[in-house]
A and B are shown apart, each in its own frame.
Chain A
């Protein structure tokens, strides 16, 4: 076979061995770690040898030295594209760390300060007859209050919110649906104390119903509905239209297609949204303060008389100067976090079971 007619490559590259230029220098894996260690050492030297004596400044300095050194090393060996890649990677990891710090710090301080005070008797006793100077007492009444108020609020807001979302996505056309959408948006931005004031003025003062856990639930419902509607709406919109059409083409009525095909497909996302709403209202203090009022006694009936709730309890205990009261507030905060986490896990298990593995 003759090769005489095949033209020579016209642009010989600098690297004679790899004319297609497919290779590239890549730093060995250990280099970023070495550079990081080096940056820390340099920062420590600055700490020891110069008058700078703020730890935060030293940490920031180490981070800065790492970014500069890593980019310089990478540019000189790997070229500018990879250097930019490494620079962006560093920033992303840095942002992640910054975002995680408050989360870990909050958890650590709540566990650190609350765990010691936590005990079976703390969980099973109320504050009946306990003054701020006394060491005893517990949060039994507050747990009952929070659980009842949040469950009642969810039992009202979740079905209602889901139905609104289904209406908006599956049926809503034109003016009515735009109006509903607009009001949901307005509700989303409603400050929580306004929800409390509304129930106070309307339910308690105008209708003369008196403070109760149920009044608190009503205020929480107002806060939950927009979150549930918005998140469920987004999830339902993600369900491909082909699935709806597949249902209709089998001769399944629209409502049944929605119930048995569309909602199950969107369920995990909907559950996440609902749990966010539950977590949000579980920590609400202001609306509960105006509607449930708070008490030191156990009141298991959410429909009559003042109740307590964990946020209220934390608020009232943390506002007192005695260390006993402050300890109780931390322990109650820990319990509140645990309750929300358990609810979240249960909901996820439930939603996971309805999906195929």
Chain B
């Protein structure tokens, strides 16, 4: 089971600053949706509103609705903690917990939520690490610190950690920007594999990556600095990259900036 996300009239603020304005889009289940656009146009901001991570920052707030299978994440009585268990997230910079081993990192989400059964945890560790294409590289050193892995391995460890709690949706904010081409390919393969069980949203600056991995693409932009970012165009990836309906999208994906 995976989940459809419908965003309507979404506006996000940092204090008084309006960072993105009036975003409307629908993310299909078991699809990969890519967010592209110039730096500062609000891709990360929109992504973080999808699992209520935006409001973690002091002064940050959200208007509009985000429906997850018809339920409004920002509706009354919604618990952000439960939302985040359903909508997992991988960050731009790998951030394994420095005090924990590889094993503990993978099951951190389960253990911190009170699951203690050793057999279940062992099983989930192997399953998640295999899912993140990391098992073969670390199976002999599960008790070593997670921070001792290479950057690419750490990022896959963070993916394993995110999928270990079995979310419905996986949000990835530039997951490959700190990685070499080989690790990047490994993660793209992984995204293709994960797609069969999760709804995936990925922010990327890499056009090839967006066209390789995603089914739909959202192009964000902003008029000038200080203005809020806006969703310019949202369509099938093939359409955005070959025959976009907006001039600005075409300029951006072909490398000419308007």
Contact = CB atoms under 8 A, between A and B. Distances in A.
Interface of A: 173, 240, 242-253, 256-257, 260-261, 264-265, 267, 354-356
A257 B95 contact: no
Contact of A260 (B58, B81, B86, B112): B112
Nearest to B95: A242
Contacts of A267: 99
A164 B52 CA distance: 27
8 contacts: A240-B95, A249-B89, A250-B109, A251-B83, A251-B165, A261-B112, A356-B99, A356-B145
Nearest to B56: A248
A249 B97 contact: no
Contact of B91 (A242, A260, A261, A356): A242
Nearest to A259: B112
A248 B158 contact: no
A356 B146 CA distance: 10
B58 to A, nearest CB: 7
B19 interface: no
A244 B97 CA distance: 10
Given A173-B58, A252-B109, A265-B99, 18 more contacts: A244-B56, A245-B53, A247-B112, A248-B84, A249-B51, A249-B53, A250-B88, A250-B112, A250-B161, A251-B83, A251-B88, A252-B108, A252-B113, A256-B112, A257-B112, A355-B99, A356-B101, A356-B144
Interface string B137-170: 0000000110000000000001001100100000
Nearest to B145: A356
User: Which of A173, A247, A248, A250 counts the most B-chain CB atoms under 10 A from its CB?
Assistant: A250
User: How many B residues are at the interface, by size bracket?
Assistant: 20 to 34
Contacts of B113: 251-252, 256
Contacts of A240: 95
A246 B100 contact: no
A253 B98 contact: no
A265 B98 contact: yes
Contact of A251 (B56, B81, B91, B93): B81
B94 to A, nearest CB: 9
A246 B97 contact: yes
Contacts of A356: 99-101, 144-145
A37 B11 CA distance: 75
B97 A250 contact: no
A250 B108 contact: yes
Contacts of B88: 249-251
B82 interface: yes
Given A356-B99, A356-B100, A249 B112 contact: no
Contact of A242 (B58, B93, B101): B93
A257 B109 CA distance: 10
B4 interface: no
B85 interface: yes
A253 B86 CA distance: 14
Contact of B99 (A247, A251, A256, A354): A354
A354 B98 CA distance: 12
A246 B147 CA distance: 14
A302 to B, nearest CB: 36
Contacts of B89: 249
Most chain B CB inside 10 Å of its own CB: which residue of A173, A245, A264, A265: A245
A240 B99 CA distance: 13
Interface centre among A243, A249, A253, A260 (most CB of B within 10 A): A249
Contacts of A246: 91, 95, 97, 158, 161
A94 B89 CA distance: 53
A261 to B, nearest CB: 6
A292 B206 CA distance: 71
B145 to A, nearest CB: 4
A246, A252, A265 interface centre (most CB from chain B within 10 Å): A246
B37 to A, nearest CB: 22
B75 to A, nearest CB: 18
Nearest to B99: A264
A245 B56 contact: yes
